[in-house]
Amino acid sequence: MIMARSKYYPKKVYVEAGSRDLSLTKRILKNLPKVPIEIISRPQELIEKVKALKDPVEDGKRHLLLTRQKGGFIKPCPCTPQYIGCNYYIINLDLNCPLDCSYCILQTYLTNPLITIHVNVKDLWKQLDIFLHKKKHRALRIGTGELGDSLALDHITENSRDLVSYFRRKKNVYFELKTKTTNIENILKVEPARNIVISWSLNSHKIAQEDEKGAPSVDERIDAARRVLDKGFWLGLHFDPIIRYSGWADDYKEVIKKLLKTVDPSRIAWISLGSLRFPPPLKPIIKKRFPTTKIIYDEFIQGKDGKIRYFKPLRFELYSEIAGFIKKYGGSEIPIYLCMESGEIWERTLGWKPQGKEQVESYLSFPLD
């Protein structure tokens, strides 16, 4: 696989015949001049072929499929049943990701393991116009990066430029791009706006090195965050998944201290915290694909949503410590929220319990004038 630490190039591009003349397809192929191309009429046959291979996840990352999004591009973030959500909407432009984190939930989404870009973006703009018109009387948080990394393919698609240009005019929308990469060249070329949040997923150095294969180091991510902040964007941060091991607290403290000494805390839109959680079928996949990882061996319970997560007192300890480090080094003004957690854990770790996702949404809103 051609997967540099920050730039990905596929071994081959498959273009669905009906998508070959679309402008995004042409742009992508122009950005991949040396990569072989095959026009196919039945993507499902290719998907089934890759699914039958020994490691479909690994093989799927080698190949890029350009096709149409046949359903809607915009969906409410599924969050997880029984826990407090944050009223987030996601845009599904890309599916799958060239990085290879051991804990990545996409490894269980084997209906299509190929890295897939939905190239019918004209439909996206139309759908967005209608969607935002319907919601024009309320503030919205919307982003990409749910079924992949928002910037990992950006040197190929240049989608960030178009998305930022579209959303910068939408004054009731907070638009977020979420990444672990340093692929920020296009971001640095577009005009920033107050409602555009560029976010990084961070972890301890140990987890980043051992369990986030292909991702830039934590220091490189923090440096990229500083550069987009200097350019004038707002910054989001996601410590997710937080993972326990001997010495975790000191390791997370070190990263948070370095982060909050490097970037201006008053320009941080939000920080989310989420602890390791996974559906049971992911465990054997992690075991097989990452035989040396230790992250799946700890005191877990099965949560109300069926996912495996740390025993409650352990989650409480993780969030309390990490929120404490953020307050110590960045002050108490940075909005911190918990991803997929119960009201009880909110109350015990952050000192308040939202009455529902609307309250989380308004807590995370900031003035856009």
What is d(CA 367, CA 359) in angstroms, rounded to the nearest whole number? 16
Residue 154 sits in the site that holds ligand SF4 (CB under 6 A): no
Of 2-10, 40-48, 94-102, 313-321, the window that binds ligand SF4 (rule: CB under 6 A) is 94-102
Judged by phi (left if over 0) then psi (alpha if -120 to 50, else beta), residue 95 lies in: beta
d(CA 179, CA 144): 10
Among 64, 77, 86, 99, binds ligand SF4 (CB under 6 A): 99
Distance, in Å, from the CA atom of 31 to the CA atom of 194, rounded to the nearest integer, reads 30
Task: State yes or no: residue 1 binds ligand SF4 (CB under 6 A).
Answer: no
What values do phi and psi take at 117, rounded to 5? -115, 130
Pick the stretch among 48-56, 101-109, 111-119, 353-361 that binds ligand SF4 (CB under 6 A): 101-109
User: Quick one: which of 16, 94, 149, 176 contacts ligand SF4 (CB under 6 A)?
Assistant: 149
Applying the rule CB under 6 A, the residues between 305 and 334 that interact with ligand SF4 are none
Query: Least distance (Å) from ligand SF4 to the CB of residue 216?
Result: 11
- Minimum separation from the CB atom of position 271 to ligand SF4 (A): 17
> What's the closest the beta carbon of residue 89 comes to ligand SF4, in angstroms?
18
Q: Give the H/E segment covering residue 12.
A: strand 12-16
The CB-of-193 to ligand SF4 minimum distance in angstroms stands at 25
Rounded CA separation 268/233 (Å): 10
Q: From CA 198, how far away is CA 237, in angstroms rounded?
A: 9
- By CB under 6 A, tell whether 94 contacts ligand SF4: no
As measured in angstroms, the least distance from the Cβ of 350 to ligand SF4 is 24
148 binds ligand SF4 (CB under 6 A): yes
Asked if omega into 36 is within 30° of 0 (cis), the reply is: no
- The verdict on 37 binding ligand SF4 (CB under 6 A) reads no
Shortest reach from residue 245's CB to ligand SF4, in Å: 18
Residues 185-204 within binding reach of ligand SF4 (CB under 6 A): none
Calculate the alpha carbon distances from 187 to 18, 55, 156, 173, 331 in Å. 30, 34, 13, 18, 28
- The one-letter amino acid at 40: I
When the beta carbons of 99 and 132 are compared against ligand SF4, the nearer one is 99
- Cα–Cα dist 195/171, whole Å: 7
Q: Which is nearer to ligand SF4, 214 or 303 (CB)?
A: 214
CB closer to ligand SF4 out of 180 and 277: 180
By CB under 6 A, is residue 100 in contact with ligand SF4? yes
Q: Which is nearer to ligand SF4, 15 or 64 (CB)?
A: 64
Give the largest Cα separation in the chain, rounded.
57
Residue 171: count of CB within 10 angstroms of its CB = 13
Burial (CB count <10 Å: 0-12, 13-18, 19+), residue 194 = middle
* 179 close to 152: Cβ distance less than 8 angstroms: yes
- Residues sharing a CB contact under 8 Å with residue 241, sequence separation 6 or more, in sequence order: 103, 203, 274, 275, 276, 277
Beta carbon of residue 153, minimum distance to ligand SF4 (angstroms, whole number): 11
Binding flag, residue 180, ligand SF4 (CB under 6 A): yes
Judged by CB under 6 A, the residue of 97, 163, 184, 318 near ligand SF4 is: 97
The minimum distance between CB 240 and ligand SF4, in angstroms, equals: 9
Q: Contact between 106 and ligand SF4 (CB under 6 A)?
A: yes
Near ligand SF4 by CB under 6 A, which window of 98-106, 158-166, 167-175, 313-321? Answer: 98-106
Q: Where are the alpha helices (DSSP H) in the chain?
A: 23-30, 43-51, 56-62, 121-134, 154-157, 159-167, 185-189, 205-211, 218-231, 248-262, 282-289, 312-330, 343-350, 357-364
State yes or no: residue 104 binds ligand SF4 (CB under 6 A): yes
Binding range to ligand SF4, per CB under 6 A, among 92-100, 136-144, 166-174, 354-362:
92-100
**At its nearest, how many Å lie between ligand SF4 and the CB of residue 274?**
12
Question: Contact positions toward ligand SF4, by CB under 6 A?
Answer: 97, 99-101, 104, 106, 148-149, 180
